[in-house]
Structure 1
Amino acid sequence: MWQEREPDETREVTVDGHRIVTYSYGSGAETVFLLNGGPGLPCNYLRDAHSFLSGHGYRVVTFDQLGCGASDKPDDPALWSISRYVEETEAVRTALDLGKVHLLGHSWGGWLAIEYALTYPDALKTLILEDTAADLPHLMEEMHRLRASLGPETVEMMIAHEADGTYDHPEYQAAITLLNYRHVCRLQEWPAPLMASLNDWNMAPYMAMQGPNEFLYIGNLKDWNRAADLGKIPCPALITVGRHDEITPACALRMKQNLREAELVVFQNSSHMPFYEEPAAYDAVLLDFLARNA
């Protein structure tokens, strides 16, 4: 169950001259290392949903990625690349002396976790991929399927605004809002940690890497596809996904089929945030997986 509490330790790490702020809960021998979604999103929403693990004997560590939250926010488009974020993640792991970790990536953090696992496989005990994908062209096909549920007239309107670049138009934003409540978080009121992250979103890295919203990928990651490489990841993996997720169960299944050793759990009453939408069920699945692979 999510909780808002002060970290047991907050430290700054310098990565290539930039200040990265890290957060740690608990002092267990097993470390769960969190990579949140975005890009450009502060880690509040994922941190506060997983700090409960410290009460079960785990150390929980995360950080505000460069460009967001309390970390530095440089104005340099060249910094917004997945390969640079991989090296940032490794720099944080090394600076905090975390050793081998249970790496948990949510959404964009899952793409980062996959890229990290392929680059530094020896740093992982397990890989936990939540509400994410390994094949973004396939994800785009799924996104278009979800958008189609709004009806042809609405889809036509959205495409026209996307062609004009008028993403802020009220009718376009109304369609995105509806999709968000269907496929990002289905709760009537979104939790405070999630709102804290959303209200401090730096759109510069998000726009550069992904696009203007959750349902249009036009950034430098639009062709990213590591599905065929997942078999190179040697550690056990857990994949979780919401039944109504924007990054759909079909994306999760594609990852499971390509990983060597993977479990897949679908939360039937969730979209993109099972840890908020079905916290009891989610927490039980995560704790069971960690216990079996500690």
Structure 2
Amino acid sequence: MDHPNSAPPPEPKVETGYINHIIAGARVRTWYKIVGEREAGACPAVILHGGPGFSHSYTLPHSELYAKRGIPVIFYDQLGCGRSTHPIRPPAFWTLDVFMDQLEAVLAHLNIRAKFSLLGHAWGGMLAATYAARRQTPGLKCLVLTNCPASMKLWALGTNALLASLPVGTRTLIEEHEGAGTIHTQEYQDAMQSFNETHLCTLKPWPTDLKRTFTDLLNDPRLYLIMNGPSEFNITGTLKDWTIIDELANITCQTLVINGLNDMAQDIAVAPFFANIPKAKWVQLRASTHMPFFEEPVRYFEVVSDFLSMF
């Protein structure tokens, strides 16, 4: 038992910086943050945030992986997000290859390409699954796909089913404003907040890190609008036909799949990962929606850290 007057554990080493590189002809800078000692030998976990267009801020609770198991944790802001470069480019620029190349640049700069794990949340999970299936990097030791779909069509089926379950007044407001293109009105934003508080994060008030990410998105929503579209029910962006289902058999590493019971990533969208990845395990967190690391942190980090510690 710890002595009641024992000192708290020391703060972990934190390193931040920028990577200067070129992607698809664009000179860019990628901001990153490392929590923990990479030299300790543990397999570092690279966190891929969601969006598209979110910043890394809301994923910062994953620093717990270092506190809990000594797993170094690497965060970075994807292009068009947070503190990284926001290139002004046409929709054709924003391909999965651009984001996979940025990930490769992070791995190379930090000299971890020979041994790393990926944890992707939401859109970040889509990116992680695509990277694992197509790049097949030997150094990728394991994969965590949390609260993400294997297909955008299946994602939309799930989110529209959730929309249909909302109170009639809220649902009607959302549908009418999306149909009229008036999604920037306060009435629409209030209706969407009701949906988000039911299926994105049920905590009240929202954690500061999550609010910071939404502020970042509102400050520059271009990437979200280009790749996703106006909302999670009406997918009109460049990702509207995205699917990785037919390529999932190419993922050879151990994979942990997570979603919440009332998640925006409904079972219909998540199940193909479990059905098609040869070495997949699926855990559903019954007290969570889309943000289990805020809503059910003890159970979430127990499951994730137990899995990552095997590699």
Is the TM-score greater than 0.5? yes
Residues 64-87 of structure 1: CA distance to partner in whole angstroms, max 9, x if unpaired? 111121111222234322221111
1:186 counterpart residue number: 202
Identity in percent: 35
Residue 105 (1) aligns with residue 120 (2): yes
Q: Which runs of 5+ in 2 are unaligned?
A: 1-10
Residue of structure 1 equivalent to 2:90: 77
Q: Once the 2 structures are TM-superposed, how far is the Cα of residue 241 of structure 1 from its aligned partner?
A: 0.7
The 10-residue stretch of structure 1 (167-176 or 26-35) with the greater mean CA deviation from structure 2? 167-176
Give the equivalent residue in structure 1 for 2:144: 128
Alignment of 1:1-294 (within 5 A): 8-16=14-22, 17-27=27-37, 28-29=40-41, 30-46=43-59, 48-55=60-67, 56-78=69-91, 79-98=93-112, 99-122=114-137, 123-151=139-167, 154-201=170-217, 202-292=220-310, 294=311
Q: Is the 8 A contact 1:22 1:64 kept in 2?
A: yes
Higher Cα radius of gyration: 2
> TM-score with structure 2 length normalisation?
0.88
8 A Cα contact 1:7 1:23, kept in partner: no
Asked whether the 8 Å contact 1:38–1:109 carries over to 2, the reply is yes
Aligned length, in residue pairs: 288
Q: CA deviation at 1:213?
A: 2.8
Distance 1:53 1:138 in 2: 31
Cα distance change on mapping 1:227 and 1:7 into 2, 3 Å: farther
Structure 1 counterpart SS, 2:44: strand
Counterpart residue type for residue 52 of structure 1: E
Q: Which residue in the other structure is 2:5 paired with? A: none
Q: In the aligned structure 2, how far is the partner of 1:43 from the partner of 1:141?
A: 27
Please report how far the alpha carbon of residue 227 of structure 1 lies from its aligned counterpart in structure 2 after TM superposition: 1.0
Partner AA of 2:122 in structure 1: S
How far 1:238 moved relative to its partner? 0.2
2:104 & 2:259 partners in 1: Cα distance?
Answer: 26
- Give the 3-state SS of the residue equivalent to 1:200 in structure 2: helix
CA contact (8 A) 2:148 2:265 kept: yes
What RMSD in Å do the two structures reach over aligned CA positions? 1.7
TM-aligned CA deviation for residue 54 of structure 1:
1.9
Whole-Å separation in 2 of the counterparts to 1:156 and 1:196? 29
**Displacement, 1:153?**
5.8
TM-score between the two structures when normalised by the length of structure 1: 0.92
Identify unmatched segments of 5+ residues in structure 1: none
In structure 2, distance between residues paired with 1:191 and 1:7 = 24
